[in-house]
């Protein structure tokens, strides 16, 4: 079934890059783009692209019409906009001192490409298609020692039916810098293929929030490569709620000692939505910490996937790797899959993982009922608490309400169908 998308889409990507010379990074990327993941390939087994393959999709034309912009209530102090995958300086605000944003030139783009090709994203469809088709690779860089107080907000919008959208972003935090960003995906197109490289140098720290809220006919195949150095810190939280199919795949390389990664996520799925958080964390050196909490709430006939691999290299002693995933099914027809995977080659490590898929806890429900709280209300309280708990743990306090409201709006729409007395 995937032959369709393979044949049609790869041909159209090739047509798109025909105009570039042979040495262009686009052509280099396109050369590797020979096939889409085989549905039997292990990491794609639970997230099949079959329905996507029945669509005829072409890379969005650079002179595609301006989309009708969604009205997002901005929470950040500075806004950066990507429309149809292209950075729009004219619609973005000025950046705080210490932050720069540039579009990479040809040779810088080739360097960027080789970093991606050296990572396990090398065969990811978004890596290949987006490097081939992106309008430009945009680099957001924070100067050495710069501590940015302002929250940067990045909007990814636009999209036209039957088109693919290719924002490519390189976030670089130089030594001892810090930054908080919130990224929001609100496309109306059919296939969104964001590609990101995030490099956090020694002693630098990044707080990153992503809200995937593309329209219901969309597919989002986000791919992230994270490279962390000595004593760097990344707090990352993703909320997946939109689209009919979103898979956010992240490969994080802990390459400097004492790096610390918190990689948390929530998905809220209803109707026939399919949401997938796939992560791989590579502990390559000693004394790094990675913590992961993933939670899902699934209603309707939705499906959820969490795949989390933690790989500890032979010399990565004193690694601390923790992973917990929990999905709650609130309808009989929803289902979730969790696939934790530990590959440990060092001996002095603390690694734990746990994955549960189930319904709400009977003891908790009864406790609430025994206090006069109705069954439906009790379910609602517990589902909200399940999410509030992880949101308050993962997100800086000033953004709790915002993220909780974002989660709540998705919950409302899926609970309306499940809980009669929904309020």
Partner 1 sequence: MSLLEIKNACLKLDNKNILNGVSLSINSGEVHAIMGPNGSGKSTLSYMLSGRDGYELESGEILLDGQSLSDMSADERARSGLFLAFQYPVELPGVGAMSFLREAVNSRRKFIGQEEFDHLAFVKEARKEASKMFVKDEMLKRAVNVGFSGGEKKKFEILQMAMLKPKVSILDETDSGLDVDALKIVSDGVNAQRSDDNAIVVITHYQRLLDYIVPDFVHILSEGVIIKSGGPELALEVEKNGYAGMINAA
* Residues at the interface with partner 1 (CB under 8 A): 362-364, 366-375, 377-378, 381-382, 384-389, 392
CB of 297 to partner 1, least distance (A): 13
Q: Which is nearer to partner 1, 314 or 372 (CB)?
A: 372
What distance in Å separates the CA atoms of residue 20 and residue 403, rounded to the nearest whole number?
42
CB of 251 to partner 1, least distance (A): 30
Q: Which is nearer to partner 1, 40 or 423 (CB)?
A: 423
CB of 385 to partner 1, least distance (A): 3
CB of 369 to partner 1, least distance (A): 4
CB of 270 to partner 1, least distance (A): 21
What distance in Å separates the CA atoms of residue 329 and residue 347, rounded to the nearest whole number?
37
Q: Which is nearer to partner 1, 74 or 373 (CB)?
A: 373
Closest alpha carbon to 336 in 320, 363, 356, 309: 356
Q: Which is nearer to partner 1, 66 or 362 (CB)?
A: 362
Q: Which is nearer to partner 1, 14 or 364 (CB)?
A: 364
CB 17 within 8 A of CB 132: yes
Closest alpha carbon to 285 in 258, 263, 262, 260: 258
CB of 358 to partner 1, least distance (A): 15
Q: Which is nearer to partner 1, 223 or 327 (CB)?
A: 327
Q: Which is nearer to partner 1, 88 or 384 (CB)?
A: 384
132 backbone dihedrals φ, ψ, rounded to 5°: -75, -35
CB of 392 to partner 1, least distance (A): 8
């Amino acid at each position: 079934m995937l032959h369709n998308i393979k044949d049609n889409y790869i041909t159209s990507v090739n047509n798109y890059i025909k105009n570039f010379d042979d040495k262009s990074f686009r052509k280099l990327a396109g050369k590797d783009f020979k096939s889409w993941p085989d549905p039997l390939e292990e990491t794609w087994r639970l997230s099949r692209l079959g329905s996507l393959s029945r669509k005829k999709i072409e890379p969005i034309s650079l002179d595609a019409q301006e989309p009708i912009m969604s009205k997002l209530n901005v929470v950040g102090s500075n806004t950066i906009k990507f429309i149809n995958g292209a950075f729009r300086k004219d619609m973005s605000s000025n950046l705080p001192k210490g932050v720069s944003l540039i579009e990479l030139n040809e040779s810088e783009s080739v360097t960027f490409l080789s970093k991606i090709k050296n990572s396990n994203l090398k065969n990811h469809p978004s890596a290949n298609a987006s490097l081939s088709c992106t309008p430009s690779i945009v680099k957001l860089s924070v100067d050495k020692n710069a501590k940015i107080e302002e929250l940067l907000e990045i909007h990814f919008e636009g999209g036209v039916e039957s088109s693919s959208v290719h924002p490519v972003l390189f976030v670089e935090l130089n030594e001892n810098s810090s930054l908080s960003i919130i990224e929001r995906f609100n496309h109306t197109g059919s296939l969104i293929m964001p590609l990101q490289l995030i490099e956090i140098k020694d002693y630098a720290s990044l707080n990153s929030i992503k809200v995937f809220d593309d329209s219901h006919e969309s597919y989002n195949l986000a791919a992230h490569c994270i490279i962390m150095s000595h004593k760097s810190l990344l707090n990352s939280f993703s909320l997946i709620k939109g689209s009919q199919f979103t898979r956010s795949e992240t490969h994080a390389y802990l390459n400097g000692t004492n790096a610390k990664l918190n990689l948390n996520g929530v998905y809220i799925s209803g109707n026939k939505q399919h949401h997938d958080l796939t992560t791989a964390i590579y502990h390559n050196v000693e004394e790094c910490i990675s913590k992961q909490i993933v939670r899902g709430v699934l209603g309707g006939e939705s499906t959820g996937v969490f795949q989390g691999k933690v790989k500890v290299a032979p010399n990565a002693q004193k690694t601390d790797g923790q992973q917990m995933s929990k999905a709650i099914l609130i309808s009989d027809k929803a289902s979730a899959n969790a696939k934790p995977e530990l590959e440990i080659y060092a001996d002095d490590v603390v690694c734990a993982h746990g994955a549960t898929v189930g319904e709400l806890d009977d003891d908790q429900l009864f406790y609430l009922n025994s206090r006069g709280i109705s069954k439906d209300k009790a379910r609602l309280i517990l589902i909200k608490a399940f999410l509030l708990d992880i949101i308050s743990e993962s997100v800086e306090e000033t953004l709790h309400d915002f993220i909780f409201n974002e989660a709540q709006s998705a919950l409302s729409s899926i609970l309306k169908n499940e809980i009669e007395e929904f309020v």
